[in-house]
Amino acid sequence: MLVKILIKAYNGFIQNGSRRMSMRIGTKYFGELEIDESGIVEFERPLLAFEDKRKYVLLDGMDDLVFAFLQSVEDPKLCFLTVPPALIVNDYDIELSDEVVKLLGLESPTDVLLYNIVTVPENVDDMTVNLKAPIVINLKNKKAAQEVLADDKYEVRHRVQKAGE
């Protein structure tokens, strides 16, 4: 199975590539998958607590689930559940630091993809989303970083409201 990698913008990027190279990786939730190498996201600054892992692939639309799975290419057991912030809050207004803009080589806000990490404890109702430290991806070059926001508007453990509430 060739996995649909991320949203349309991504597809645009992949089609622009001269050659498509695929590779097989082990994943935490979906067994072994074939992914397009051009869809690999590389963290310029690794995720805190996972300093030795830099390469991930975003698996979106898997089995009709809402999550984009940020799966480590290097470690099948390492996979983050993420969601676009719009799924959680209406207006996610953030200011990216000069540091991350430079680090990812960002030239335009339209090149920015944002995802927030979801934590699902044993009691699923207590699920939280990290709105304080989004994952920032530059669509153009697929460089990524987790940006810890400077202002205090958002929480690391934002409680998710149940659907319909």
Partner 1 sequence: MLVLTRKKEEAIVIGEDIEIVIVDVGEDRVRIGINAPRELKVFRKELLEAVKEENKNSGQAASDILAASKLLKK
Residue 144 binding partner 1, by CB under 8 A: no
- With binding defined as CB under 8 A, does residue 133 bind partner 1? yes
Residue 119 found at the interface with partner 1 (CB under 8 A): yes
| Paired strand residues for 27 | 31
Q: How far is the CB of 23 from partner 1 (least distance, A)?
A: 21
In whole angstroms, give the CA distance from residue 73 to residue 89.
Answer: 30
Q: Quick one: CA dihedral 127, 156, 51, 115, positive or negative?
A: positive
Residue whose CB is less far from partner 1, 9 or 127: 127
| DSSP conformation class of 98 | H
77 contacts partner 1 (rule: CB under 8 A): yes
**Is residue 1 within the footprint of partner 1 (CB under 8 A)?**
no
133 three-class SS: coil
Query: Using the rule CB under 8 A, which residue among 67, 96, 142, 154 binds partner 1?
Result: 67
8 by DSSP, 3-state: which? helix
- Residue choice 132, 144, 145, 154 for contact with partner 1 (CB under 8 A): 132
Q: Please identify which residue in 7, 9, 40, 83 interacts with partner 1, judged by CB under 8 A.
A: 83
Run of H or E residues at 82: strand 79-83
Q: Nearer Cβ to partner 1, position 38 or 136?
A: 136
Residue 151 in the binding site for partner 1 (CB under 8 A): no
Q: Residue 121 interacts with partner 1 (CB under 8 A)?
A: yes
Alpha-carbon gap, residue 114 to 15, rounded angstroms: 22
Q: Does 80 bind partner 1 (CB under 8 A)?
A: yes
Task: Select 36 or 147, whichever has its Cβ closest to partner 1.
Answer: 147
4 or 13: CB nearest partner 1: 4
Q: Around Cβ 7, how many Cβ atoms within 10 Å? A: 15
- Beta carbons of 57 and 5 less than 8 angstroms apart: yes
Beta bridge partners of 55: 42
